[in-house]
């Protein structure tokens, strides 16, 4: 089980960013297959019910980190780097 603190950094909410990352296919060119959709929905459900801390089973955590690592960002922001570093270092 991994735990990720869902911080709010002004106009950047970890919950909102992680929701958008999770909703995007790992490969935007091919889209998401049903397996990826099911895994993503598990993460989205956990985000919806999280009360300040996102708790993920190891397989869901691996899915989220794969999506974070595959994400192409359309802006440079050190808060995003902070979010990614915190997610990748989750305990």
Please tell me the predicted confidence (pLDDT) of residue 37: 97
- Angle at the Cα of 6 from the Cα atoms of 12 and 11, rounded to 5 degrees: 15
Please tell me the predicted confidence (pLDDT) of residue 3: 98
Give pTM, 2 decimals: 0.93
- The residues pairing with 2 across neighbouring beta strands, listed in sequence order, are 56
Domain region containing 19: 2-88
- What is the total count of domains within the chain? 1
pLDDT in tens, the chain (91 residues): 999 999 999 899 999 999 999 999 999 999 999 999 999 999 999 999 999 999 999 999 999 999 999 999 999 999 999 999 999 999 9
Please tell me the predicted confidence (pLDDT) of residue 79: 95
Distance between CA atoms of 26 and 62, rounded to whole angstroms? 12
């Amino acid at each position: 089980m991994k735990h990720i603190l869902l911080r709010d950094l002004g106009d950047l909410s970890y919950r909102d960013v992680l929701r958008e990352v999770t909703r995007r296919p790992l490969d935007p060119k091919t889209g998401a297959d049903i397996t990826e959709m099911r895994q993503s929905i598990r993460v989205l459900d956990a985000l919806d019910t999280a009360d300040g801390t996102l708790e993920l089973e190891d397989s869901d955590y691996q899915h989220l980190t794969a999506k974070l690592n595959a994400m192409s960002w359309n802006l440079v922001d050190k808060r995003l780097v902070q979010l990614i570093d915190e997610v990748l270092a989750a305990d």
